[in-house]
Amino acid sequence: MSKTYNPYDNVLKVVSEAAGILGYSDSDIEALKYPERELKVAIPVRMDDGSTKVFEGYRIQHSTSRGPAKGGIRFHPDVNPDEVRALAAWMTFKCAVVNIPYGGGKGGVVCDPGKLSEDEIRAITRRFTAAIAPLIGPEQDIPAPDVGTNAAVMGWMMDTYSMLKGHCVHGVVTGKPIELGGALGRSEATGRGVMFTVKNVLKKKGIPAQGTIVAIQGMGNVGSVTAKLLYQGGLKVVAVSDVSGGLYKKEGLCIPQILEYLSKDRKNLLSGYQEEGITRISNAELLELDVKLLIPAALENQINLSNAKKIKADIIIEAANGPTASEADDILKKKNIMVVPDILSNAGGVVVSYFEWVQNIQSVNWTEETVNEKLKDIMDSAFDAVWNIAESNNATLRTGAYLIAVKRVVDAKKARAIWP
């Protein structure tokens, strides 16, 4: 990551642009520039070798104007306040664009789960949850999985919070294991939402799905489910990557075989995968492949000033949060490359998190079919709304998404007025 890159500046830039088109004054959007609450915590942990290590963690609530803060917990060595702040703000606008009754929050711990044992990860999770407990709760702020965390981590968070409260609190986190009140369909929801977005954009552009060439960066929760569903839908996934590098095969990769290999052990990486006819490529090379669809599904700032000019894809579907730096956005626009923005394309995760929370607080269970159908309805109508507003303003899809989202957040803020 370049030293000068600050993802929160990216957010402010696009919010200001949307506010300008909407005719808002500076004071209409002034409060949106400042996260409502920021908590930094120290997390002492007894490591497996008997030593004590202190990890740094954060929980930031960008906005609660439209409802409780909502957003994931990231375990990654690069976690820092500017990143968490940006991720929290993106959640505010993501929840607004798909019109679910939440604000935005995010959290993270500076650590590398790939180098930690399960006991150490659980110890970090429990102490972190205790440290942020005053901020979270089903009516205040509801965490979920993000990079480096998963259903097991959410289960430990739910258990820790429940122990502190003295009773079972299912609705404090989403993305939990099914046996702890997790929603059927949640683990695949973000990738499924990306798949619906791909189908919607291909339909609008009149491109048949069958044989459409795709490259996907990141093979975690989001990238792997996206790859699986697009492969099943007949698209040709020619390249995938993870932190260890990428694989390329002109005829299309055997995605089920790759996913089976990755799921055998959480420490398995693509660098150890073997398949006849594959070429090993770097993450940088993957991004510059000549493909119809490029799907960044790893981290932010992957498409930036240094490589934007070299991008050859026709359409970028942002499955990761903030994969395109704003300077790169301007270059892609000039190159006529369509970008479907993160706050729309990857919203499937938070939509099904919302379904999980609704089921938890009402103590009801929905079938997976119901969850997937409701998800499709929301993703399709949000996509249409963004497409139409972008077209009528002769704007990019990102600007279109922010026109809808910023208006919803500002309307809520105005209706509440400033307290006291």
CA 345 to chain CA centroid, Å, is 9
How far apart are CB 186 and ligand NAD at their closest, in Å?
A: 8
106 catalytic? Reply is: yes
Edge-first strand listing for the sheet containing 141-145: 37-46, 52-63, 104-110, 69-76, 141-145
Q: Among all residues, whose Cβ is closest to ligand NAD?
A: 220
159 or 242: CB nearest ligand NAD:
242
**Segment 291 to 320, residues that bind ligand NAD, using CB under 6 A:** 297-299, 319-320
Residue 222 as a binder of ligand NAD (CB under 6 A): the answer is yes
How far apart are CB 334 and ligand NAD at their closest, in Å?
A: 25
Q: Retrieve residue 344's tokens.
A: 């729309």
Total residues in contact with ligand NAD, by rule CB under 6 A: 24
Binding mask 147-166 for ligand NAD (x = CB under 6 A): xx------------------
Residue 146 as a binder of ligand NAD (CB under 6 A): the answer is yes
**Segment 344 to 363, residues that bind ligand NAD, using CB under 6 A:** 346, 349
Q: Is 277 exposed, middle or buried (0-12, 13-18, 19+ CB in 10 A)?
A: exposed
The residue annotated as part of the active site, out of 106, 228, 236, 413, is 106
Residue 288 as a binder of ligand NAD (CB under 6 A): the answer is no
How far apart are CB 44 and ligand NAD at their closest, in Å?
A: 24
Residue 242 as a binder of ligand NAD (CB under 6 A): the answer is yes
Q: Which of 250, 339, 344, 345 is nearest to 303 (CA)?
A: 339
Cα 315 to Cα 338: distance, rounded to the nearest angstrom: 5
Return the half-sphere exposure (C-beta side, CA atoms, 13 A cut-off) of residue 221.
23
Work out which of 163, 243, 259, 305 binds ligand NAD, going by CB under 6 A. 243
Q: Retrieve residue 263's tokens.
A: 């799921």
* Cβ atoms of 350 and 168 closer than 8 Å: no
Please choose, out of 33-41, 133-141, 161-169, 213-221, the segment that lies near ligand NAD by the rule CB under 6 A.
Answer: 213-221
Binding site for ligand NAD (CB under 6 A): 145-148, 190, 217-223, 241-243, 283, 297-299, 319-321, 346, 349
